[in-house]
Structure 1
């Protein structure tokens, strides 16, 4: 019967889960987009469902009243029959119960009707309130954007005033006044009102909770004994220190006196340029194909930025001495996070390397490693990198940068795997980089965020580390730039918890016990890990003095473009436009940059013409043989046995050529 079906438990449950209440909860979660057409259709569908349920209840009410009246008539007829006294009393009792049932059913149906009427009324009220809040938010954003534009106009007018400019350039200005007149970066980078883009809190929050266990004497470590705990200068790494007993730090050699390297570069000139006037016609294009003036650059190439990943190479030196592969994985994870610490203030774009451009970093006498990068492809831009350390490890990678300008933000997606192998144990780790996002491209101060997951796999032992970079959220109570991770063995058993931020530090805590906890706010069951006190693995070095006027370079970055004798003729240090920019001669640098790019295009056209001639004259079309294109000088293509990808790996010969100063086969790109 239709009326009876309305009261099946499954029907009531489906009504509660029909999406009405859950939809309103989603609308209250802070969704930033205005109500779309699909959202309105879904709300209208929910209201129609409510109206249908109300009609069903009315039908149930009519049926119950009808059948109840029929039942009472039948009972009245029974009372009129000649039956024994005892039977008449029983029929009378049944009649009274039927009357009570009818009254109770009517009361229940009336209550349900009131509930549905109330739900329908409140649904419209909530919808209107939500729409009002969204309209207010949009109005506020437009107001803030107008204020930011007015602020930029006033700031430009202030900079162009001769008297104020003279006061700004006065050498004797006090420190507080200099701080107030700090140079803006990229034209609009000094805005106080930021058109900041926020993310909602992450839905996939880490499904674990850590509880620090009672610390036992045998597990106590001095925080100062762990790498980077002093937070000092890179030279402090080689002072005497002690590591965990599972790491055999037994090197007793005293290092040779190091070459004194530069600690500053010329201050960044005060050039202002409107980014939007250049970028507005480039929406959706590949960043590497957009002709950019050096005003948006920093005086380093992408090859040098790639080499900056080695700033905290000491983490790998320590990892090479670890007997425990799980503890070694903790150091490798900290190293993978440390490479992002240089990006927090570095919003300028590095130079796109020319095809065949190289960059070497020889720190063999200082830190025991040598690094070589080469630009192996121009479209898409790809760089190959190889590092060999005397302290027991080798790192290599091929990184292709895919980038898209989306109007309000710029997405930079590094593609390619990073390989790290330790010589003594044979442990081979592979991981990939996360996505970088540059916000406030149009209005406001530029800022960079890192978000995504990094899965580090030890292909020898099958141990893994899962790192999560949480995107910044205004509504989140977590610290900004948060990173969390879990180190697990080949069976999936967790042994270490990693936590920290990608711009400051990373800590590890050994798990002593794990248990299943209760469900969280999203209904997910979380694991509770009981750990020992956390140990500091990595701490970011403080920036040099006056770094804000030197492109926010770190101590290592200040030395990367320092002239060196004996480097290859294709080395980034010899690139003239980059050298002119570092010296503050930006107008000359822009002219030189255009010359180099045109020279590169001419070489590419000549190479394509040669390829066409070779196909016409020498190739046998039936055999399918093709003309070979550009071949890098120091790297060659191979298939990676672990990932199955085709990558460029170092084929050797560079350092031997440097010793002999034999560069005859190097292309002339500058």
Structure 2
């Protein structure tokens, strides 16, 4: 375009002005963007050739794609900057052309100015369209790249998982071969099934060469030992191993024929409760008021509960008390330990379907179980603290044992699941032998709190110690795993004496049964590929110690209560006025009147808060204001008292006596009015 003298606007298009430089820069960026977008387009477009051989993107391809997207984003920013500057200078150019149009200039120059203005407008519109097209293309490319990145990441994770599984199987195979070659009395047929960690499972097919030895499968690293089952007639000796007697010293005690108590009960108990009504519940209307609050302080409606209190739930642990009645007659402390371990595991059997929470007891609430006639025991529980919730428990058996504990419940909500950690030691003492056993409960986990079907699992290690003989039992509650070939809810363990010598191996599941097998020989296995070495135990055939009672008919409509649980809230005359069976909201819920139960529950909780404020006021008059809040939480239990436990070194509530004497006299004047 020829220059017109006196027209500075037109002359500026010919020289290196900023606007012209930007236009040139923009024109130079376009082919570069097109060049960069081409490989991206090739990468994102589906391959219609049908050849999937090279369809899997490598990490290098993924990184290159990531870098390309990053570079494109930077170039898009440059384009946006250029677009803004082009629009700015284009507006200024049009304004200048309009001003020139108003001046007195020759007609020929006016026509040229008009043509320049039109071209500038078209150029600006075209540049804006180009910028928008580039932006749309890049957004489309980013969308497809994210989709393929997610697919690629998923496939990579699956590949890594499969590689880890194959590697684990290879390690197992190698380790099992080594253990098989070094196991004492190994079968002549090397194709027999053999693996690590699992004990006392159902027998499979035996090899024709050796019908007396059997090996079992388990998950890698589930336990630290390997078990080999042999018949008593096979008194094999392992080189460098430990030999022991092959006879059971107390067959009449550890025999499964006496698992179920004999004789009908003298008092007829109820065998059913009203069916659970089907109430709808707006979860959000409840949870929105609970955000940020401590879990134990959240007021929950009875819709989440079962019609039993925590005190009654704690008493349910005594359902298989006959295991302890049998343990009284054991002459061997390690055999007695086996039955104590089975009793400790049996307390979890009622929780497998019981996903509803029990009622939180009121402070001072009690629950008695007076079953000397049929069960041979008396049990008393009292709620000794409200925050944190803590219950003291004492059991006396006429068969020669007593049990006591103080359990504090600590819970943590972790989003998808709820962890319930019982804190406190459980004490069991046999009067004749003086054997004093102490253990602690495992962690309970409630899964699928937000979405899905609720289910509960027990996990962790439990150590039972006989503080008189120093015998120990190490129990391991294996967590459920979708990829595990083990049975769900599995428990394994080893019983050892004070010298560390293993005498029994235990196995089973906490919701079904427990078995024990006597160890006759032990020897170390060959180290595995990862350097770990397990102990090989050669045992006698397993004996069944405990098996869960079947649930009553229609249990699914009665909160999955066991036969004992159905009787716990049965009305009984002569109990203390603080007994859980007299709690009105719990009774209304059991009858199916949930709306009335919720109203009554709120009344009781408000009454408890009023009583706490009264203690606070009484304490503030006798002590400083700073100590008032602390002292307000100090509650003096009625039937228990704080003592220093000489065994654990902890302070715990221990039964101080007087309850059964008060019941005999029907003198309850000392009981608080909590209901």
| TM-score range relative to shorter protein | 0.5 to 0.7
SS in 2 for 1:590: helix
Tell me the alpha carbon deviations over residues 52-105 of structure 1, each in whole angstroms, 9 at most, x when there is no partner.
xxxxxxxxxxxxxxxxxxxxxxxxxxxxxxxxxxxxxxxxxxxxxxxxxxxxxx
- Give the distance between the partners of 2:255 and 2:574, measured in 1 at CA: 34
Shift in CA distance, 584/223, structure 1 to aligned 2, threshold 3 Å: farther
Residue of structure 1 equivalent to 2:262? 238
SS in 2 for 1:514: strand
Residue of structure 2 equivalent to 1:477? 485
Assess if the C-alpha contact under 8 Å between 1:207 and 1:524 holds in 2: no
Assess if the C-alpha contact under 8 Å between 1:396 and 1:418 holds in 2: yes
Q: 1:366-445 alignment to 2 at 5 Å?
A: 366-445=374-453
Shift in CA distance, 230/656, structure 1 to aligned 2, threshold 3 Å: closer
Residue of structure 2 equivalent to 1:122? none
- Give the distance between the partners of 2:291 and 2:219, measured in 1 at CA: 28
Residue of structure 2 equivalent to 1:61? none
Residue 486 in structure 1 maps to residue 486 in structure 2: no
SS in 2 for 1:238: coil
SS in 1 for 2:623: helix
- Give the distance between the partners of 1:521 and 1:454, measured in 2 at CA: 29
Q: 2:610 aligns with which of 602, 609, 617?
A: 602
Q: What TM-score, normalized to structure 2?
A: 0.64
Where does structure 1 lack aligned partners over 5 or more consecutive residues?
1-39, 41-126, 138-200, 240-254
- Give the distance between the partners of 2:258 and 2:398, measured in 1 at CA: 25
Shift in CA distance, 602/202, structure 1 to aligned 2, threshold 3 Å: farther
- Give the distance between the partners of 1:350 and 1:576, measured in 2 at CA: 15
Q: 1:205 aligns with which of 198, 222, 230?
A: 222
Q: 1:666 aligns with which of 660, 671, 674?
A: 671
Residue 455 in structure 1 maps to residue 463 in structure 2: yes
SS in 1 for 2:525: strand
SS in 2 for 1:602: helix
Q: 2:643 aligns with which of 626, 638, 647?
A: 638
- Give the distance between the partners of 2:535 and 2:384, measured in 1 at CA: 46
Assess if the C-alpha contact under 8 Å between 2:417 and 2:445 holds in 1: yes
- Give the distance between the partners of 2:643 and 2:342, measured in 1 at CA: 29
SS in 2 for 1:332: helix
SS in 1 for 2:374: helix
- Give the distance between the partners of 1:412 and 1:203, measured in 2 at CA: 27
Assess if the C-alpha contact under 8 Å between 2:435 and 2:467 holds in 1: yes
SS in 2 for 1:637: strand
Assess if the C-alpha contact under 8 Å between 1:276 and 1:442 holds in 2: no
Offset at residue 405 of structure 1 (A):
1.3
SS in 1 for 2:261: helix
* Equivalent pairs, count: 457
Assess if the C-alpha contact under 8 Å between 1:547 and 1:553 holds in 2: yes
SS in 2 for 1:668: coil
Shift in CA distance, 284/575, structure 1 to aligned 2, threshold 3 Å: same
- Give the distance between the partners of 1:512 and 1:281, measured in 2 at CA: 60
SS in 1 for 2:597: helix
Q: 1:43-192 alignment to 2 at 5 Å?
A: 131-133=153-155
Assess if the C-alpha contact under 8 Å between 2:616 and 2:632 holds in 1: no
Residue of structure 1 equivalent to 2:167? none
Q: 1:286 aligns with which of 291, 294, 307?
A: 294
Q: 1:235-274 alignment to 2 at 5 Å?
A: 236-238=260-262, 258-274=266-282
Assess if the C-alpha contact under 8 Å between 1:282 and 1:405 holds in 2: no
Tell me the alpha carbon deviations over residues 544-596 of structure 1, each in whole angstroms, 9 at most, x when there is no partner.
00000000000000000000110000000000000000000000000000000
Residue of structure 2 equivalent to 1:497? 505
Offset at residue 275 of structure 1 (A):
3.5
Q: What TM-score, normalized to structure 1?
A: 0.65
Assess if the C-alpha contact under 8 Å between 1:561 and 1:573 holds in 2: yes
Offset at residue 133 of structure 1 (A):
2.9
Shift in CA distance, 128/358, structure 1 to aligned 2, threshold 3 Å: closer
- Give the distance between the partners of 1:342 and 1:566, measured in 2 at CA: 28
Residue 305 in structure 1 maps to residue 322 in structure 2: no
Assess if the C-alpha contact under 8 Å between 2:471 and 2:497 holds in 1: yes
Q: 2:373 aligns with which of 361, 365, 372?
A: 365
- Give the distance between the partners of 1:225 and 1:643, measured in 2 at CA: 30
Residue 588 in structure 1 maps to residue 596 in structure 2: yes
- Give the distance between the partners of 1:590 and 1:442, measured in 2 at CA: 23
Aligned CA RMSD, in angstroms, stands at: 2.8
Shift in CA distance, 213/129, structure 1 to aligned 2, threshold 3 Å: farther
Assess if the C-alpha contact under 8 Å between 1:294 and 1:586 holds in 2: yes
Assess if the C-alpha contact under 8 Å between 2:253 and 2:326 holds in 1: no
- Give the distance between the partners of 2:546 and 2:407, measured in 1 at CA: 24
- Give the distance between the partners of 2:253 and 2:636, measured in 1 at CA: 47
- Give the distance between the partners of 2:317 and 2:501, measured in 1 at CA: 30
Assess if the C-alpha contact under 8 Å between 1:614 and 1:627 holds in 2: no
Shift in CA distance, 224/395, structure 1 to aligned 2, threshold 3 Å: closer
Shift in CA distance, 648/361, structure 1 to aligned 2, threshold 3 Å: same
SS in 2 for 1:327: helix
Offset at residue 600 of structure 1 (A):
0.1
Where does structure 2 lack aligned partners over 5 or more consecutive residues?
1-62, 64-148, 160-217, 235-245
